[in-house]
A and B are shown apart, each in its own frame.
Chain A
Amino acid sequence: MPFSSFTLVLAALGAGVTGLWAGRFFIFILHQYKQVDRVFFHENNGFWVGIVMFFLGFTLVGRPFVFWAPMTLAGLLLLKHLWIKRTA
């Protein structure tokens, strides 16, 4: 399955849907910051830290890291989201 063309299309769709959510999150989170530069600064820091962490995690831990790291981060984001909504 991982090597079939059908899976590639599915993966592309999945990435697209994930991207939609991330784009929406930008607009949502902008309400919490006074200036737009802060949002992009923190988001970009997360990006390069993510690149380094993925490399370390995948080479040292392997597939469990690839599975659990995004799940954990998504869970943390959800908690943060709920917390922001409650305090807003």
Chain B
Amino acid sequence: MVLNPAEPVTRTFTLREPLLLFLVGACLSISQFVMIRDFVTILYGEEVVIILVTAAFFMGLSIGYFISLKFSYKFFHNSFLAIVFLHLTFPFSYRMLAVEIARLNLDGYMYVVLMFVYALIFSSIFAVFLPRLVHEKSSDKESAIQKMKVLYSMELIGFAAGFAIVSMSWNKGVDFILPIYWALLAVIIHLALQKKTWTAAFVLLAIVSSNSIEQVDRRTTALLYEHKHHFHEAETLLTINSAYQKVEVIKDEDGELYLYLDGLLNLNASDLEDLNYYIAETPARLIKPERTLIIGNGTLSSVPKVYPHSKFVQSVELDAGVLLAGQKFFTPTDELKGLDRWNLIVDDGKHFLKTTDHMFDLIIMDIPSPLTIQEAILHTKEFYQLAKSRLTEKGVIAVQLSGPLQHNNRTPARVVAALSEVFDEVMVINSDQADRSFGFASRQLPFSGADMRQATHEYEKGLKIIVPNDIPSYLSEAVPLALDNLDLVLCRGLDRFTDRYFDVDRDPCRKVRDWTEGYFNND
């Protein structure tokens, strides 16, 4: 048996060890992907959560390394078997435990405990193999080093192979990747333990489980939305892992559709109407652009709104998974048929702007709130500078501000402050109906506040319009978002996370600032 000091060294044995490490590397890569994606979705995917979950996974590995040489072969044998069979319940068992925590209204700390326990189970067992295999049967340090060279290289190659498998699973459900993962685990069991009975038992259970992965995935996802997101009734219409995030479409009891990205609500069908009206249709009607660029808007729902008013519409969306969800559930392909003056490119907005030769009269930034670094970069003054370089003289950039603009240093004010640093004129409208503000910025806005009122008065009577001259009074406290000042991602993420799970209703960053100010003032 491998990993057993009593086993004699044979030719088969020496070939088996590198293969074992290769498979361990591959499984580590896949389990990292599945676990981090799923826990981020359970805890809601701000960058703070992504970092926490990733750190938990690697702490599990550290613990695995720490204890790898501290226990007997028998203990390894039994714990490895228990854990590897438990892998057959992933990711559904911890999803169900999260559902139970929500259902029983347990303390928020329980989610964090759950995450660390599962990170330990998920990753630590894989960390045990390399140190044990290198250490055992190495008569001296030199042979240990030689062994480590080969085995660690194999583990890294396996990790890369696992990543290739993960990339094949993009825009598919876990029912694609889990059977592959289980098959690799079955080979690991066979190579590590050399017990046909255990391998056969695992394979049998894996085959039986494989038949119902999709149903269990959808049902456990729906339960999570019912209990943790407080849906009365939820039905999972789509749950896939894209290259960037988990994309889920949920239907509630009234038949309303919701798009969730990494567990965060991106939009629902009703909000989409208001959002598209203000961010896309209204500026397009006012400007009548030659060329319009839409960055984001994976649902493509704003395309038919802008199309009648623009001579050419270019959509740029990074995530093919969101496009898939959009075309399946939010903008039927029929609505986009025959739009021969419209073009779609799957690309990063920054990359597109930097490489395109075209100039635009209207750029619509239909992207999520700045809760992750990548999203926040698209709200910085550096990005707006880049957008300005692709705007015509009277070109306008339209931005949704993720909330109402107020006299403070919160997200809407900071985004408007960034726009104001780059553009000469910024107008903001505050819609109660859309529950947020929208910013329009330009070197020279081609419409006035009165034009905006005229264009929107039938849609919403009480729309608040803040004209360019009044904008500075809102920005007295606001620090513009910039590449070198993305503290919003940390502070807003921490604020939301602590508020959600630890019932702390005060921004932790503000607490630190207040404490620091108090400390120095007392001095």
Contacts and interface: CB of A to CB of B under 8 A. Distances in A.
Interface of A: 2-3, 23, 26-27, 30-31, 35-37, 40-41, 44-45, 47-48, 51-52, 55-56, 58-64
**Chain B interface helix/strand/loop/mixed:** helix
A37 B487 contact: no
Contacts of A30: 141, 144-145, 148
B62 interface: yes
B141 A48 contact: no
B354 A44 contact: no
A44 B62 contact: yes
A52 B55 contact: yes
Interface in B44-103: 47, 51, 54-55, 58-59, 61-62, 65-66, 68-69
Contact of B135 (A2, A35, A47, A58): A35
Contacts of A23: 152-153
A40 B65 contact: yes
B389 interface: no
Nearest to B489: A59
B484 A62 contact: yes
B215 interface: no
Nearest to A55: B51
B62 A59 contact: no
A59 B487 contact: yes
6 contacts: A3-B355, A26-B148, A27-B148, A30-B145, A37-B69, A62-B486
Interface of B: 47, 51, 54-55, 58-59, 61-62, 65-66, 68-69, 127, 130-131, 134-135, 141, 144-145, 148-149, 152-153, 350-351, 354-355, 373, 482-490
Contacts of A45: 62
B135 A48 contact: no
Nearest to A3: B354
Nearest to B69: A37
Given A31-B141, A37-B135, A48 B58 contact: yes
Contacts of A56: 490
A22 B232 CA distance: 52
B64 to A, nearest CB: 9
A40 B131 contact: yes
Given A3-B350, A58-B373, A51 B54 contact: yes
Contacts of A44: 58, 61-62, 65, 127
Contacts of A58: 373, 486
B144 A36 contact: yes
Given A3-B351, A30-B145, 13 more contacts: A26-B148, A27-B145, A36-B131, A36-B134, A36-B148, A37-B66, A44-B65, A47-B58, A48-B59, A55-B490, A58-B373, A59-B47, A59-B488
